Each structure stands twice: as C-alpha cells, then as structure tokens.
Structure 1
Amino acid sequence: MKLLRYGAPGQEKPGLLDDAGQVRDLSAHVSDIAGAALQPETLAKLAGLDVSSLPVVSGTPQEDLRLGPCVGAVGKFVCIGLNYSDHAAESGMAVPPEPVVFNKWTSAIVGPDDNVEIPRGSTKTDWEVELGVVIGKGGRYIEEADAMDHVAGFCVINDVSEREYQIERSGTWDKGKGCDTFGPLGPWLVTKDEVGNYDDLAMWLEVDGKRYQDGTSATMVYKVPFLVSYLSRFMSLQPGDVISTGTPPGVGMGQNPPVYLKGGEVMKLGIDKLGTQTQKVVKA
C-alpha cells in the first residue's frame, strides 16, 4: 500500500493511492496515518479493504491536490550521519565505528512538495536525499533478526542541512538539521511488503535540473535492521517514529567548489518505488 495524507497544512486527512494514481479517502477507517494506524494489525485491516469502495478524492496528487507529510504526529525524527562511505569521504570524515545519531526536530516536518526555507543568516543550506524508515510496532532492545517486524514501511526524506550551523557553530549537529521546513516527508509511506528489497533502491536528487546525487541504498554502511536494533538500545521506538538513514554522495558541501542553496532554486528528488518530491527554495 501507498499511504498518504492530503489536504491543507494542519488539516490533512488519511488516504491511500490506488493503482490508477487516484487518492482514496481512509477517514472512515483511521483518523490519521499516525501512531496506532501504523501497527501491524491496523495495516493488515487496511490492506484487506476493497479499494474500489473507498471514496475518490478529487484532484491529482502532487499537482492540484496537496500532499502533507506521509506520517502525522511524528514522535521522534531520528537521523543517521555518515552512513554511506562515499559520502563520508566527500565530507572529509571517516566512516564511524558506530552509527552517528542526531535528531531533526518534528517542527521541521513538511509535505513533500512544500517550500523549503533558507534560515535567516544562512549561507550554507544543503540537500540530502535519504531513505526514511517508519516504525509500526514499538519496542526496546529489539533483536536485529526481529527488526523488520517493527517496520511499517519506507518513504523519501530530504534531510535539508545548514552546514555552518551543523559543523562550524560548535555543539551537536542538531543545530543545523532541525530548522523549520528541513524535513520534507513523502509523498507516501510505502508498506514494506510493496517495497520488497529495500537494500538496492536507486536514489537521486537534482537542483534546477542538474543531477547532484545519483546513488543506491546498496552502499549504506549500517543497514536498516541493524539501525532499528541499535537505536532501540538507547530509546523506546514507538509507532510513527521516523528514522532517516543517511545519504549517498553528491551533496552541495562535497562539490568543488561547494554549492549551496541561495533561494529561488527547485529541488527534485526521489527513490525507486517510493516516489518523488519537488521543493522550491525560498528565504525565510
């Protein structure tokens, strides 16, 4: 299934994408694509619905029908840094002996095609296409062999980053990662059964039509089951938590010379089987 949230910001309703590319309303079955709706038993009920009987929502998704973040009421937005060896190299950093963990604040979350704002005073706003993992079944001290039982599905994330705030202004990475609009999610949450092999998904990102990132999740250092297990040692994972798993090479910081967003650009990014995002860059 491709689960989504549609409508005006703050008023999104739950839906799914049918085989014809139409949005079908799920409001009679779940209140939101969030929390308990992502648990295995609820997903199984949704998967058993007769899609043709669900109300059709007027409009074309991502054209005249706005999509919101594909997960609502996210409790934790946890990110993994330097999780692709070639991205670590372009950043001038070594692959870490354990995953680098940081947070994006949930106030950073926006829809997949909403504007991305450059913070006031920023000179080094950058992009990162990432594979997002959405937790469906909560847990602590999860065994790696059981980790995928806790995953509801996957989505596209743009881990927008302000490099000066992140690296040069002292303190943790969080300072440059969680600015408002720095976490577009979606367009849809694709359940793991539909994704299949998540270990070899093509990932790409373009700015004004120029392709900067062109990679694959196959080169991820710490894989999804390990990350779920690893994070569960330090925090309880709960339904609706989102994990952003790192980016392949091609970020602006890694260009020679570096390229950063100034305002007015259009970012377009996508992951095989998970859809695309398009964001206009504006100044806050």
Structure 2
Amino acid sequence: MAFLEKGQFPQVIGHRGLRGAHPENSMAAFRSAIDVGAHAIETDLHLSKDGVVVLSHDATLRRCFGDPRKVADCDWSELSMLRTLSEPQQHMCRLVELLEYVTQPELGHVWLLLDIKRDDAADELLKRLSAAFAHVPSPSRPWEQRVILAIWDAPWLAACTQYLPGFPLALTTPSPVYASAMLPIPGLHMSLLNYSFSTRRGANFRDEATSLGRKVFSWTDTAPEWMALSVENKVDGVITDDPEGFIRLCAQWKDEEKRRKARKWTMWEAVFWLGINANVWITETMSHLTSNSL
C-alpha cells in the first residue's frame, strides 16, 4: 500500500478526528485532525433505518446526542436533525460527507481507516458502503488505495471480501492471541490495543506480522508514554485522540536523535584529538630521550 510506506515514525491517524477539540466523528473534528497534520482519519460506521451509512462509534445516540434511541431505529431525516451534546455542537455525519471532503485535490494524500461496527447486518452495511464509494469517486486514486476496512472478527472478513473485493483489511482486536490466530490469512493487517505491545507475546506478534509484510497499528495512543512506546515499537500507524501531540513528540524525538548524533560525533572527535596529541607527545618524548642518550 503506497499510502502506508514505512517512514522514520508511525503515520498519524486521527481517532474519530480531533475529538479533543471537537465532538467526535464530526466534520469539524475531521477537518481539524487534517489541519494539524494527521495522515489519516479513523472513524466508525453504522447504518440508519433507511440504509444511510453514518459515522458513529456507538450503536445508540445517548452518549453523543442525548437521545435514547438506536441509530438503526432512526431514518436519516431524524438523525440529521440531532446535534451533539458537546460544544461546539455538530450534526451527525454521513460517510459520503467525509468522502466528499477528502476528494479535494489538496487532500489526495489523506487516507481513511473505517472501523466497521458489528451491530448491523453485514451484507446490508457492506452493500451500502460499496454504493457510497461508487457515489463519490476518488479523483486522485481509487478508494481501494485510500481506504482500509477495519473488522473485528472472521465472519466480517468473508463478507468484506465478497462485497468490497480489492480493499485492504485490518483486524481490530485487543488480543494478540486472536491476532496470531488470524495472521495466516493472506494480506490481513493488524490494529491492536496499545497495551498489547508491552507484553512479550504482543512484541513477538508485532515482529512476526512485520516480517510477513503486514501493517501494524496501535490504538488508542493519547498518553505520551504510549505514543513513545509506539515509536519505539516501530508500528506503521498510531491511532490517537491527539494527532498534534504525537506530531510534536516525533519532532522532539527527531531533535533528540540529532543531539545524540552530535554528542556521539563530538566524542569521536575528542578521541581523535587525544590520539593525535598522544602521538605528538610520544614522538617528542622519544626524540628528547634519544637526544639525551646521545
């Protein structure tokens, strides 16, 4: 996947956008994440009662919108009228809005990690997802080269392969054991809970997945210590609530590497200088002893 070429640092993936500054999964959160430098957007898919693919982490509307109903029990005409409890208030997004946003010419580098929730029927959701991609063509490169579909279990793997062939898939799981069991599936990338990599099993799994050419993502890296661990683990992407903070940490890391190299070079210069001066001292001493003996 050209959009996930290995760099010095993991790529920055905005978890539900920049949710620290704006309500999660809103267009304001997505725009802000890209504005601060995120390479990608992670967002969550659900289906409305009338078949519209909407962006919501929860199956219910209670936490974000204060409405006790389920997303699946509401038509889009009802969902579109809701506003978030968090300020600044935002409306619920459809997937097509996000697709239209990232088709802007200046955003051709941006890619999407779509977390497919399991609350809807797989065939219906994936048919609607395929239709959304067809409705909003990607002008710079096809969606298969800009989207990774994140699934949670094996049945969704088969369904995605059927309805969206050619799209890269990533298994999302908190368990290195389950991830290891799924690793033999060709081309399946991995998105693991950050705690996983702090265990021996998780570290071994990361090495094995990387050796097989799989991309490995870490979530949700918001605390600086977990961000730093992901850098040390050389994962391919960090899913974070704080894209700006992670970018800042990477810049500081790079500066520290430069300082370490500078200090190392200074040390070798000192050794070289001491060697030259020692040689001069030895030469002068031998010359003095020789002249005195004569």
Please classify the TM superposition score into its range, dividing by the shorter chain length. Answer: under 0.3
Structure of greater Rg:
2
Counting strand residues as a fraction of each chain, which structure ranks higher? 1
TM-score (norm 2): 0.20
TM-score (norm 1): 0.21
